[in-house]
């Protein structure tokens, strides 16, 4: 890597790392490698099966206890039915009676007389 991130030049640290990795790769020989053996089908160890069974049974018992406590601790009477929500205020004002006293009714000028 370079300091600018886009250039092709290498830094002193990169050169030292490359030299160290090359030296390590040259020091490994055939005597250091393990011999080839086909994989064996060992399966799961015997101790894992009972442990998994025990964990599963404990989880099942915990769920059963939670259900039992939830049912047992419930109210003695059924819950009240839900109430209908009130409609939201529409923002239109309600009519307010005027403080002026009503006068006697007079015929409209557009209505013909008797």
pLDDT per position as a tens digit, 79-103: 777 777 677 667 676 777 777 766 6
pLDDT per position as a tens digit, 33-50: 888 888 777 766 666 778
Tell me the whole-structure pTM to 2 decimals.
0.29
* 11: confidence class by pLDDT, cuts 50, 70, 90: very high
CA–CA dist 33, 29 (Å, integer): 7
CA within 13 Å, CB half, 49:
4
Buried-state track 54-92, b at ≥16 Cβ within 10 A, e below 16: eeeeeeeeeeeeeeeeeeeeeeeeeeeeeeeeeeeeeee
């Amino acid at each position: 890597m370079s300091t600018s991130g886009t250039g092709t030049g290498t830094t002193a640290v990169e050169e030292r790392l490359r030299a160290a990795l090359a030296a390590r790769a040259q020091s490994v020989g055939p005597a250091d490698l393990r011999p080839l053996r086909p994989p064996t089908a060992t399966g799961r160890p015997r101790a894992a099966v009972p442990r998994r069974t025990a964990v599963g049974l404990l989880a099942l018992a915990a769920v059963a206890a939670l259900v039992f406590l939830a049912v047992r601790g419930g109210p003695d009477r059924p819950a009240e039915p839900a109430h209908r929500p009130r409609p939201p205020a529409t923002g239109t004002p309600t009519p307010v009676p005027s403080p002026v006293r009503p006068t006697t009714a007079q015929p409209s000028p557009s209505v013909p007389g008797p």
